Amino acid sequence: MAASYDLLILGGGPAGLAAGIYGARAKLKTAIIEKGRPGGQAATTEELENYPGFGPGTTGPGLSQSMAEHAEAFGVEFIKDTIIGMDLPDKKISGKKGDYYGKAIIFALGAEPRLLSVAGEGKLRGKGVSYCATCDADLFEELDVAVVGSGDAAIEEAEYLTRFAESVTMVVIHEEGHVDANPVSAERAFKSPKIEWIWNSTVQKINGDEIVESITLKNIKTGEESDLPVNGVFIYIGTVPKTDLVKDVLELNPQGYIITDEKMATNIEGVFAAGDVRDKYLRQVVTAVADGSIAAVAAQRYIQDRELWEKEVMNSTKPVVVVYYDPTDMKGTEEAGLVDQFLNENPGKFNLVKVDATRNELVKNRYQIKEEDLPLVQLFVDGKVDTTLNTISKTSLRGLLK
Ligand SMILES: Cc1cc2nc3c(=O)[nH]c(=O)nc-3n(C[C@H](O)[C@H](O)[C@H](O)COP(=O)(O)OP(=O)(O)OC[C@H]3O[C@@H](n4cnc5c(N)ncnc54)[C@H](O)[C@@H]3O)c2cc1C
């Protein structure tokens, strides 16, 4: 039988772990499905020094482990499985080992390295071609390696590689002196005696039969090609979101990142997205954990609102008068109070449910309630909208009773 949870989190990177901490602490039955070890990309970097409160000396694996232990301490269940399919409207997730259900889902599958897509890359992956210095740097003790890219990840990982490799050559597409990394890391790398720089260049192919022997570079200014003998090549040219499984279901931006609102809600009710997989400005640990926390709080609210709505409106045996109101609007609240009085004078026939429509996202989205239309009354019969009253008065309410 498929396992069921209140909150099912897909991916155990920083976003998923933070969501787990918030979900489990709110007493939701929470599980994280993760195919590898917790920590995601953050666990693949040896130097992670910009997470507030965790300064120099902090490592990605160390910080990830603390987050995972924190989540576990609050009661998060870790499920080691690879997600291979999902039916998001039904909140059903399929893994290699089984199926899982959640009342709410947080999609936090993160991103994976962008490939160079040149000859030799696929064939020599794991044989000198790598996307993770933390995982593989020690294999290159006293050897020569190249790092492709100039962003934060490329520069930080190049510095880490200098602890092992004999030489590290940065292959950068930009003009001399221009990198995409933050100036502090860049300055440090420029000063490193072990790091050399090749500017205005791209990798054309990776050469070698069994293992990497060299890379062919092209100077984009002169068109000149040359071979650089190396034993390894580390590729850091960005990441692509892991959204293949949902590309026809969730709304994505042109680059394939999931579009959410500020509460991390996607276009499917009860499905939230957090972390690097989301369309956003800054992809870092600190923003991933912020997303995860927001998503978990929004998911908890969604579950609560939905359960109440199901019980009081959808499954009511009597017709239900629902009053949507804005508690900060005094005049509207008074008008909404008219419904109370009216139903008290006409007891027995209807149930009354009042909804703060400024906070209840579920109802607001499901029934397209706009704040400018509040207060608003809807009569539900057998779980379906029967009548909508845009103005609340004794006359309109009398009409409703009929
Ligand atoms: C080399 C490197 C260095 C970095 N340095 C820093 C830094 O110094 N500071 C900083 O703040 N940020 C840094 N970052 C960025 C940071 O790591 C990410 O922003 C952060 O990890 C994003 O977290 P996430 O949870 O959204 O996604 P991810 O970390 O990508 O986690 C997603 C998780 O989902 C799992 N998953 C994916 N698909 C499946 C599936 N089908 N089934 C089950 N599980 C699945 C993955 O295994 C992974 O654990 C670095 C990234 C890299 C690659």
Task: Write the pLDDT tens digit of every residue in 134-189.
Answer: 888 999 999 999 999 999 999 999 999 999 999 999 999 999 999 999 999 999 99
CATH code of 72's domain: 3.50.50.60
Among the listed residues 220, 185, 215, 213, the one whose alpha carbon sits nearest the alpha carbon of residue 199? 220
Please give the Cα distance from 365 to 374 (Å, whole number). 14
The answer to whether residue 141 is domain-embedded is yes
Q: Look at residue 118 and tell me if it is in a domain.
A: no
Q: Are strands 167-171 and 239-241 parallel, antiparallel or unpaired?
A: unpaired
Say if residue 288 is in the same domain as residue 332.
Answer: no
CB 291 within 8 A of CB 278: yes
Gap from CA of 10 to ligand 1 centroid (Å): 13
In percent, how much of the chain has pLDDT > 70? Answer: 100
**pLDDT for residue 344 is more than 90:** no
Q: Is the CB of 13 under 6 A from ligand 1?
A: yes
- The domain boundary, picked from 180, 213, 235, lies at 235
Same domain, 13 and 101: yes
Question: Are residues 274 and 292 part of one domain?
Answer: yes
What residue owns the CA closest to ligand 1's atom 9? 48
Is 123 part of a structural domain of the chain?
no
Asked if residue 50 has its Cβ within 6 Å of ligand 1, the reply is yes
Please report, as a single letter, which amino acid is at residue 121.
E
Of the residues 35, 41, 65, which should be mutated to test ligand 1's pocket, given the most ligand atoms within 8 Å of the CB?
41
**Residue 356 structural domain:** 316-401
Provide the whole-model pTM: 0.87
pLDDT, one tens digit per residue, over 24-57 is 999 999 999 999 999 999 998 887 888 999 988 8
DSSP class of 103: E
Domain boundary among 174, 209, 235: 235
**Helix/strand/coil for 278:** strand
Three-class DSSP category at 243: coil
121 within domain boundaries:
no
In a domain, 55, yes or no: yes
Q: Which of 109, 130, 286 to mutate to test the pocket of ligand 1 (most atoms within 8 A of CB)?
A: 109
Catalogue the E-assigned strands of 118-222. Answer: 129-130, 144-148, 167-171, 195-198, 201-207, 214-219
Task: Look at residues 174, 206, 235 and tell me which one is the last residue of a structural domain.
Answer: 235
* Distance separating alpha carbons of residues 110 and 117, to the nearest angstrom: 21
Could you tell me if 229 and 155 lie in one domain? yes
Q: Are residues 330 and 349 in the same domain?
A: yes
Non-local CB neighbours of 80 within 8 Å, separated by 6+ positions: 34, 35
- Asked if 116 contacts 148 with a C-beta cutoff of 8 angstroms, the reply is yes
Instruction: Report how many domains make up the chain.
Output: 3
Tell whether ligand 1 has an atom less than 6 A from the beta carbon of residue 35: yes
> Which atom number of ligand 1 is nearest to the Cα of residue 43?
17
Residues 364 and 394 in one domain: yes
Dihedral pair phi/psi, residue 225, rounded to 5°:
-105, 145
User: Based on the domain organization, do 250 and 329 belong to the same domain?
Assistant: no
**Where in the sequence numbering do the catalytic residues fall?**
132, 135-136
Contact call for residues 367 and 385 (beta carbons, < 8 A): yes
Kindly state whether residues 248 and 167 are assigned to the same domain: no
Interacting residues of 341 by C-beta distance below 8 A, sequence separation 6+: none
Phi, psi of 175 (to 5 degrees): -60, 155
Residue-wise pLDDT for 289-301, tens only, equals: 999 999 999 999 9
CATH number for 340: 3.40.30.10
Cα separation of 213 and 265, whole Å? 48
pLDDT for the residue numbered 135: 82
